[in-house]
């Protein structure tokens, strides 16, 4: 499975979470953090998709995705430990931890595997 297959939906979930946090609680920090990091993830997924279409790997996109997911894991994990609230901190921390592990796996295995050219 390619990283962009998960990154773009993951980014959309983070963006939606930031908007919902703002609408429900009026939290500008939630809005800025969710929308900002979600858009970075969507951009990284898009860059990875475009590189894949050109039959290349985008290690820049993979590293960007990894850093963003690890930061979300750290921040939301810390918030979960402070508040013990599963929603949204625990859920976002859990999903982000899984995504961080996935990105690290992709980096360790050489990124997106480009299909061989048919001759």
Tell me what the mean pLDDT of segment 15-40 comes to: 94
Residue partners of 112: CB distance under 8 A and separation at least 6: 2, 3, 4, 48, 51, 52, 57, 58, 106
pLDDT in tens, 40-52: 999 999 999 999 9
Structure tokens at 77: 């994990």
Whether 37 and 78 map to the same domain: the answer is: no
114 assigned to some structural domain? no
pLDDT band at 57, cuts 50/70/90? confident
81 assigned to some structural domain? yes
pLDDT in tens, 61-89: 999 999 999 999 999 999 999 999 898 88
Residue partners of 23: CB distance under 8 A and separation at least 6: none
pLDDT above 70 coverage of the chain, percent: 96
User: What per-residue confidence (pLDDT) applies to 110?
Assistant: 87
User: What per-residue confidence (pLDDT) applies to 112?
Assistant: 82
Judge residue 26's burial from the number of C-beta atoms within 10 Å of its C-beta, 0-12 exposed, 13-18 middle, 19 or more buried. exposed
74 assigned to some structural domain? yes
User: What per-residue confidence (pLDDT) applies to 118?
Assistant: 59
Number of domains in the chain: 2
Whether 63 and 29 map to the same domain: the answer is: no
pTM equals 0.90
Whether 24 and 38 map to the same domain: the answer is: yes
Residue 4: give the domain boundaries.
1-55
Whether 50 and 68 map to the same domain: the answer is: no
From CA 81, how far away is CA 52, in angstroms rounded? Answer: 38
From CA 76, how far away is CA 100, in angstroms rounded? Answer: 13
């Amino acid at each position: 499975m390619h990283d962009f297959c998960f990154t773009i939906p993951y980014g959309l979930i983070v963006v939606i979470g930031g908007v919902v946090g703002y609408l429900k609680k009026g939290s500008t920090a939630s809005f800025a953090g969710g929308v900002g990091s979600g858009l970075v993830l969507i951009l990284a997924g898009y860059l990875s998709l475009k590189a894949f279409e050109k039959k290349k790997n985008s290690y820049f996109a993979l590293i960007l995705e990894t850093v963003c997911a690890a930061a979300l894991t750290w921040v939301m994990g810390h918030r979960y430990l402070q508040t013990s609230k599963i929603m949204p901190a625990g859920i976002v921390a859990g999903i982000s931890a899984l995504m961080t592990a996935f990105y690290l796996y992709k980096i360790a295995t050489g990124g997106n595997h480009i299909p061989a050219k048919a001759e």
